[in-house]
Structure 1
Amino acid sequence: MALTRDFKDTVVARVQNDPAFAQAMLDEAVTLFFDGEPDTAKLILRDLVNATVGFESLAQDIHKPAKSLHRMLSKSGNPTMSNISAIFAAIKHALKVEIRTTVVMA
């Protein structure tokens, strides 16, 4: 029988061991928000929170209940822009990176 690993565990391990992968996930979440795909962006942010600061620590950092943060970053969550901004800032700080996006003029 083949050994398998949970997808979320794989993402956590890769984010913690590969700074370029973590940066790419953060950049992709931002790009998805800008491109009108917030549901997918929130799920990527959820994985990044789990792999970096964790929901309890994030809750303390941005002064929101952890349970509310879990709901915000669910597919059906509806976070405010100020909450999304605070989440991005916390992840940015944890990863010690800047957000990089590419703007394409149509």
Structure 2
Amino acid sequence: MPLTRSFKELVQRHVAEDPVYAEALLREGIDTMLAGDVDTGKAILRDYIKATIGFEKLGEATGTQPKSLIRMFGPRGNPQARNLFSVIGYLQKRAGVELHVMAGPG
């Protein structure tokens, strides 16, 4: 049986309707990148950006061209740390969360 809506549309709607889910998606994207799966983390953050602020407004807020942001979070994107941290910092501020990196055991 074919799906009537795409998964990405479902995620975007869920993010728009549920702030707890939106925050969890932001955290998951960042956590995934920090765990070493940069491509998956970028994909999660791309979905989060599309569902919340959009690339146009994010570009205005960070001083980065929207097309550059789209490429940065695309499958072949290789963002510079400066640009990535600028985006993550803004997304945290906008969401009203402050994430911290802590060393784990081992």
Normalization by structure 2: what TM-score?
0.87
- CA deviation vs aligned residue, 1:78-98 (integer Å, no higher than 9, x gap): 001111111112222332222
- Of residues 55-64 and 90-99 in structure 1, the stretch that sits farther from structure 2 once superposed is 90-99
Structure 1 residues without counterparts, runs of 5 or longer: none
Identity of aligned pairs, percent? 37
Q: Which amino acid aligns with 1:93?
A: K
Q: Which residue of 2 aligns with 1:67?
A: 67
- CA deviation vs aligned residue, 1:21-41 (integer Å, no higher than 9, x gap): 111111111111211111011
Q: Which residue of 1 aligns with 2:33?
A: 33
Contact map agreement 1:59 1:65 (CA 8 A) in 2: yes
Please say if 1:4 is aligned against 2:1: no
Normalization by structure 1: what TM-score?
0.87
For residues 69 and 75 of structure 1, the distance between their equivalents in structure 2, rounded to whole angstroms, comes to 12
Relative to 1, partners in 2 of residues 1:74 and 1:2: Cα closer, same or farther, differing over 3 Å? closer
Question: What number of residue pairs does the alignment pair up?
Answer: 106
Q: Quick one: higher RCO (CA 8 Å, sep 6+), 1 or 2? A: 1
Measured on the aligned residues, the alpha-carbon RMSD in Å equals: 1.9
Contact map agreement 1:62 1:87 (CA 8 A) in 2: yes
Q: Which residue of 1 aligns with 2:17?
A: 17
